[in-house]
Amino acid sequence: MDKKRLSNLIIFTVITGICGIVSQTILLREMLILFSGNELSIGVIIGSWILWEAGGAYVGGKRHVKKESNTVILVLLTVLFSILFPVSIYITRIFKVIAGIPLDTGAGILHIFYASFFILFPVGFLHGMLFTFICSFFGDILNDNKESIGKVYFYEMLGTIVGGILLNYFFIQYFNAFTIAVSLSAISFLSCLLLTFSFMNSEKKGYVVMIVMFLFLSIIMLATGGTEATHNYSVRKQWSGRDVIYYKNSLYQNIVVVKDHEQHTFFTDGVFAITIPVPDVTFIEDLIHLSMLSYYRPEDILVLSKGAGGIINEILKHRTVKRIDYVETDPEFLKTIELFSTTTVKKELINSKVNLHFIDGRLFLKNSHSKYDVIFINVPLPYTLQTNRFFTKEFFENVKGALKLHGIAILTLPGSTTYYTSELKNLHACILKTIESVFSNVFIIPGDYNIFILSKIIDFINFDPQCMLNRLKERQIETKLINAVYLKDRLDIKKREWYMSNLSGIKTGINTDFLPSGFFYTLSYNNLLYSPYLKPFFEWIKHINFIKILIGVLSLTFLFFTLSFIYEGTPILYSIGTTGLSSIILELILIFAFQIHFGYVFYEVGILVTVFLGGIALGGIAALAPFMKRFKDINAFHIIESFFIFLPLGVFLILKFTGAFLNTCPFVVKALFFLLLFISGLCTGIEFPIGSRLYGETGKKEKTVANIVGHLYSIDLIGGCIGGFLGGMVLSIIGILEACIILSILKMGSLFLLLTYKKNMVLSH
């Protein structure tokens, strides 16, 4: 056929790939904000996207259209996709308002599921249909050449790589989500014009008018600031009419400032952070002075996160203080505070005793050689893996190493003066057990929020109310809250006894980086607040362990082994499905591990996904390369399956030992994560085209390209969907390292089915 027409079709396919990664990444970032940065939602979002892609691919595979109708369908699907993408962004932003969720609270697990499920339906489903119809189109113009599937796979993934790089390193830096979406729509409309001019006859040129109209509207919106106006309008709706005076996505999080009269409230990823100029006096005075007054002479202080706006000001009231190291991971957050700074904030940040450090708190502790009298761990609940990093055994060991011999560390957890639910008991028991595995002394001050004071030894710490009151007077500290009556009530020993009695008999594991039990218990606690009807589900799932999952995997393998004697091609379908599941869970493992090590997956998530998909693209073209013809398809398939057995084991070993090199070689560790993601994608990309050829040759009835793609792509995506939906939850229960072993055993089962498959059912070249 005409090379120019083929080139235009290739351009259209590449742009379709760009549309896929850009829409997926933008909606993923918007939903991470919606779900308060909860990384579990990454798996659910990817799973939902994959589910609808699978549905679209399957429906597209079932549709038999005339060759001349392919162009019309591709144009209509692309136009619909381009319109619905910005609509999906808008719905994501106003979802809390629609669902009746308080704006300054997180979303429950059920909200995460059904929001992802419904919001991603239009774009995911349409993109899946586009892939199948493009494959069918290529097959028609190349005389039904089954290798066209691999070529389309490659061209779409090439677009994915280009789109991912441009989005993460250019567009996100300078443009809002609506500007990016409408710009992408304009490019899509241009690609539709190329397609119509190349393949449509004169009778259907009316479609050109429609495309030009939409292209013109896109350009008008971009040129007149319509996208910026839409962005601002959606933010106002997102915050239900509140006076939003600042909105920005930093490398680490989404930052919003809401004004109410003269009060400015700061939110990060939709969750309350601080308020100025009048802070939460009760919490700040309680936290700072009960801790500082228990210590005989606090001089060197470390504040990890959210110190500006009141906390540092209260610390400076203690005249013994000589130095305060204030660590804030996100410099944009502090710059935002300075934009609306008050006298108190200015005094805090310009004080000669205060040293600012813009670095992740964990990395600061690992790299710093300073020793401290008091360390304030001022981070929120471990409702994300990012915050869970500050409640693990590994972190507390770093804190212990940074304390002076008689130093203390302080953190808080939500409490109660009347009743502890089983979920809150589990959370407290888990964190307390983790602390006690590192620190020999833990003093707890129970209340509506509980203050934990950790120390190596207790010789220089005194919690006698009268002693603390004397120190308050000696240091000439003026407070609005702290007095003799308050201290006597807050430090009442009966309250501590009642608190400890609530935790009696509660059995939990220790919270670690790669077995984030604290994250799971916080998720369970939050869902009691937002989705109480899911309590039985969390009670059931917390009893899942490595052995039970292993039995499930072996049972599944046996089931498909039995089916392989009944249905031809079953081992290939099982291999493709388990590869889809394994690759997505491996992707989640590496994304989660990246977050645990570095703490800023919000910025890198797009490029991490792009690297994985880039591996798929190279794998797709490698499967069609001349050197692959040296191998029989079935033998090559066996080799790739073997790779998937050893890859999770390699990830297991690397994750277990990379932590030791994080201080000295952070760049090398980061590069290693990208390499592992790429290799995982590469193996996935090689397997799909080979599996397509093998599956097309099973059975007596010849399969069309659309049939093969519809079945195989759907099975692949359904496996990925299951991995996305269940991966995050399973990883938080059995741990990241144990999950690697499970994946390896799962792929052993699929290789076993292939090796025992009747040879006459699979023809190979």
709 pLDDT more than 70: no
**pLDDT of the residue at 326:** 95
Per-residue confidence band for 764, with pLDDT thresholds at 50, 70 and 90: very low
- How confident is the prediction for the chain on average, in pLDDT? 85
Report pLDDT digits (tens) over 202-215.
556 677 888 889 99
Report pLDDT digits (tens) over 57-79.
778 766 655 655 778 888 899 99
Sheet holding 271-276, edge to edge: 243-249, 254-260, 263-268, 271-276
Name the least confident of 63-67, 365-369, 596-600. Answer: 63-67
Report pLDDT digits (tens) over 164-176.
888 888 888 789 9
Sheet holding 300-304, edge to edge: 354-357, 323-327, 300-304, 372-377, 403-414, 449-455, 441-445
Instruction: Count CB atoms within 10 A of the CB of residue 500.
Output: 12
**pLDDT of the residue at 168:** 81
Mean pLDDT of 122-138: 86
96 pLDDT more than 90: no
765 pLDDT more than 50: no
Report pLDDT digits (tens) over 378-416.
998 888 888 899 999 999 999 999 999 899 999 999 999
**pLDDT of the residue at 204:** 61
Distance CA 520, CA 338 (A): 35
Name, in order, each residue with C-beta under 8 angstroms of 466's C-beta and a sequence gap of 6 or more: 484
Most confident of the ranges 99-103, 285-289, 454-458, 610-614: 285-289
Strand partners, 711: none
Distance CA 96, CA 745 (A): 41
762 pLDDT more than 50: no
**pLDDT of the residue at 556:** 92
Report pLDDT digits (tens) over 714-738.
788 788 888 888 888 888 889 899 9
Name, in order, each residue with C-beta under 8 angstroms of 242's C-beta and a sequence gap of 6 or more: 103, 236, 258, 260
Phi, psi of 270 (to 5 degrees): 80, 0
Mean pLDDT of 127-147: 74
Q: Which two tokens stand for residue 631?
A: 């191998």
290 pLDDT more than 90: yes
User: Taking the model in full, what pTM does it have?
Assistant: 0.84
Distance CA 48, CA 163 (A): 21
**pLDDT of the residue at 761:** 43
Distance CA 117, CA 269 (A): 21
Nearest to 99 by CA among 119, 80, 85: 119
Rounded (10°) angle between helices 206-223 and 226-238: 70
**pLDDT of the residue at 631:** 72
Name the least confident of 12-16, 61-65, 555-559, 565-569. Answer: 61-65
Strand partners, 441: 455
**pLDDT of the residue at 214:** 92
Distance CA 737, CA 718 (A): 24
Report pLDDT digits (tens) over 458-502.
766 888 999 999 999 999 998 888 999 999 999 999 999 999 999
56 pLDDT more than 90: no
Per-residue confidence band for 763, with pLDDT thresholds at 50, 70 and 90: very low
Mean pLDDT of 208-232: 92
Most confident of the ranges 148-162, 264-278, 363-377, 453-467: 363-377
Using a pLDDT cut of 70, give the percent of the chain over it: 90
Distance CA 407, CA 403 (A): 5
**pLDDT of the residue at 2:** 62
Distance CA 103, CA 91 (A): 15
